[in-house]
Structure 1
């Protein structure tokens, strides 16, 4: 008779498998009794092990757990809770991408060795205690817009795409010019997940219920070097249970907030630096994409008095739209502020390290996380206003936040100059000089990462 191979160590046994093992054990004892024999427990365990491939030790622990459950005396973790399959380490990065971007620039410009993902991973683990895997690092590198390039001396470097560098250089040039004669205000938004906890009086049912995956609050604020703009807090709830038109409703409320609360409290002649977010990225006149409805394409062309044939199909209409669409996106928020004589400047996409409010958001979120309350629009608004008053009184927090942004700006000005020289030594194997082709023409405005 061929023996059943033993299961490997650490193999997970689900509830169905455990019940099956118990039934085999009971059947073995019952079968011996029907034959007129009295089987010892150790012999029954051995026969069950031979029949199922599960080790005798595991079977003993399964039996012990079953007895404990039947007697109601189990107070410790059961065998299956202890042996629950370990989840794979999360690929969630505990460090922000800004720190990784800075390290990649430093490695590319300061080290004479050829850069590979493996030696970059080793350097990040030492420099910022990066805990991700090679596959995680590769995803981040691509998200940040870095590409591996071969140099004439056969080394490999990681260099940013042209469009990312261009947006950053343009921003740094303009904000440096504006600083000479205008006060600067940053406008940004963040999102906080609902932490509502339902508690019952029954201790056996006193469990935390996970909030809806899409239930969160949107907070927008503006701030200068002296603190948050007074009387200008915007909060709305973005819930999965709300209607399909909630985004449009939120923007209408946001637009009203800008006109009635933000603008009246802005310093005269201010430059408003606008961060990328869903509310701030509402286009003044959205350009149809290739997946838009045909009637929307036709309406867009008609409004601009662009001639087209009635026989045109969607691909032909879209190519015509691409030919006439504005090179620069026009945003509703910018238009409202410009109409009130405020200049606007867009942060380069995915560069939160150039926004001083990012550091303040973390302080406010930490304060809210320590609060034990049922999160509603009213309670959250109260908590945010309470903390912002405290933060505004501590000028050192704002000095540190703006000093850090100033240091980051100086770093990028210096690094972009070095990258110009470094890129001259790259072996160019591209068939086209337009690196922007890597990003789709239909891409929506990029949101800053948290």
Structure 2
């Protein structure tokens, strides 16, 4: 079989075309093709094809590399926070059952549980984003292990949360979200995206807080993005968030509250930022003196900065924390990719479902009114039920961390083993058809009873009569 020639790039095609035109001025058309092929070490048929393609350009000759701009399938990675929680807990369940998950097994499980439509390649990316790595065991099997740094953050978070509850301190969950102005249901009652493309300004931003006792009174902030209440990009910023904290949240918080929030940029704006290596020497010395870190006057900037680097984490303070601390409250930040531990995420799902079912005007002011209606309809008993669900997930994480420690000890992970996410999928003999969902033993982490369906229907919670 003749060996196929590599695809010629656009620049090579241009050169071949110019060589052909050079010979064409001196010879007839037949000799020009042959001489061009000999001069460029290409076949005569290749030369003829490229010259023929140039004649189709209507006088404008532009050579491009064939296939360089082919349309490709976009990977599926934009899944919601609840589905990410389902994926995390499903992986844990496999490990707890002492069954090594493969990408084929996980993909089949998620296709049935959360209607995941992505490929194994997309799923691999999502799993990596959630903090899991493929590790090789001592018997050469591949196992998905959550990064120790992520586990540590979750363990510390849950331990602190338990301590605060033992102290009977109110746990207040807060978050921000938005709803597109054209967010509506399809005729079959499902929400399948936007009615039409909209600009970034056409959405309503929601900020609120709540606990087992219900929403924090008078704490709802909702506005059309792009107005004076928000920044020009249609998203939250620190100034808006700080104003909400000071004017709407603080006056209505119970004493000694614990505010649970995620790691959004505007939540983590530092107060009294430590100097960097380009800061003036006197400012470095001032910072070190302020924090009681000893140094000598003859130290040079690299030496001073080394002191700052080794100590700055101990003195890192966030502006939001400082504001709340001054009023007797504390802040607790969720571990990364653990929005399933925040019940307000389920509240957002209920609000968006209500908007999608009732949005007949498709403009931001009307969506704001629908949001207010739904917020009023969600009662303390609904909040209590969602908080109970989250506490069950917390307890399951606590149990699973102990089981995973034991399981990894038994399997034995090779020391120094690095991430091998590109090769793990085919390392097992399991096939996609061999999927058996984890059993429902009490040691397993609850997946949420098909969370996507349940959360979309939160708005239909039966309203209990007032006492």
| Range of TM-score over shorter length | 0.5 to 0.7
- 1:375 maps to what in 2? 363
Q: Distance in 2 between matches of 1:346 and 1:233?
A: 21
Counterpart-to-counterpart distance in 1, 2:178 and 2:284: 33
Decide which of 386, 393, 396 is 1:411's aligned counterpart.
396
Q: Distance in 1 between matches of 2:348 and 2:408?
A: 36
* Cα deviation, residue 236, structure 1: 4.8
Corresponding residue number in structure 2 for 1:134: 120
Q: Secondary structure at the match of 1:428?
A: coil
Tell me what 2:269 maps to: 282
1:397 aligns with 382
Secondary structure at 1:429 match in 2: coil
Tell me how far apart the structure 1 counterparts of residues 230 and 350 of structure 2 sit (CA, whole Å): 32
- Partner of 1:179, secondary structure, is helix
The CA deviation at 1:309 is 8.3
Aligned-partner SS, 2:378: helix
Once residues 394 and 181 of structure 2 are traced to their aligned partners in structure 1, the CA distance between those partners, rounded to angstroms, is 34
Compare relative contact order (CA 8 Å, sep 6+) and give the higher one, 1 or 2: 2
Question: 2 CA distance for matches of 1:359 and 1:310?
Answer: 54
Deviations 1:165-213 (A, max 9, x none): 111111111111211222221121123345499xxxxxxxxxx873334
Q: CA deviation at 1:388?
A: 0.5
Indicate conservation of the 8 Å contact 1:192/1:217, yes or no.
yes
CA distance in 1, matches of 2:242, 2:347: 23
Matched residue SS, 1:326: helix
Distance 1:105 1:329, change over 3 A: farther
Contact in 2 for aligned 1:189/1:277 (Cα 8 Å):
no
Q: Deviations over 1:389-415 (max 9, x none)?
A: 0112xx442233112101110110111
The Cα of 1:240 is off from its aligned counterpart by: 10
Map of 1:150-299 to 2, 5 A cutoff?
150-180=136-166, 181-195=168-182, 210-213=197-200, 216-239=203-226, 250-287=237-274, 294-295=278-279, 299=283
Whole-angstrom distance in 2 between the partners of 1:279 and 1:130: 31
Change in 2 beyond 3 A, CA 1:277/1:300 = farther
1:103 aligns with 2:90: yes
Aligned residues: 332
Distance in 2 (CA, whole Å) between partners of 1:176 and 1:415 is: 17
Q: 1:120 aligns with which of 91, 98, 106?
A: 106
Q: Is the 8 A contact 1:288 1:297 kept in 2?
A: no
Q: Secondary structure at the match of 1:322?
A: helix
What secondary structure is seen at the aligned counterpart in 2 of 1:386?
helix
SS at match of 1:279: helix
Looking at structure 2, the residues matched to 232 and 157 of structure 1 have their Cα atoms a distance apart, in angstroms, of: 45
Partner of 2:313: 326
Please report the RMSD computed on the Cα atoms of aligned residues, expressed in angstroms: 3.9
For 2:407, the equivalent position in structure 1 comes to 422
User: How many Å apart are 1:330 and its aligned residue?
Assistant: 2.4
SS in 1 for 2:247: helix
410-419 or 236-245: bigger deviation = 236-245
Cα gap change, 1:318 to 1:101, in 2 (>3 Å): farther
Distance 1:195 1:288, change over 3 A: farther
Instruction: Give 1:154 shift.
Output: 3.2
Structure 2 equivalent of residue 339 of structure 1: 326
1:136-160: per-residue Cα shift (whole Å, max 9, x none)? 1111111111111122343321111
Secondary structure of 2:272's partner?
A: coil
Contact 1:364 1:384 in 2 (8 A): yes
Segments of structure 2 that go 5 or more residues without pairing to the other structure are 1-51, 53-69, 185-194, 419-454, 456-467
Deviation per CA, 1:241-286: give whole Å up to 9, x if none: 9998889994233223212221121122322222332332222234
Map of 1:362 onto structure 2: 349
Offset, 1:134: 0.9
What TM-score, normalized to structure 2?
A: 0.61
**Residues in 1 aligned to 2:183 and 2:282: alpha-carbon distance in whole angstroms:** 46
CA distance in 2, matches of 1:263, 1:243: 20
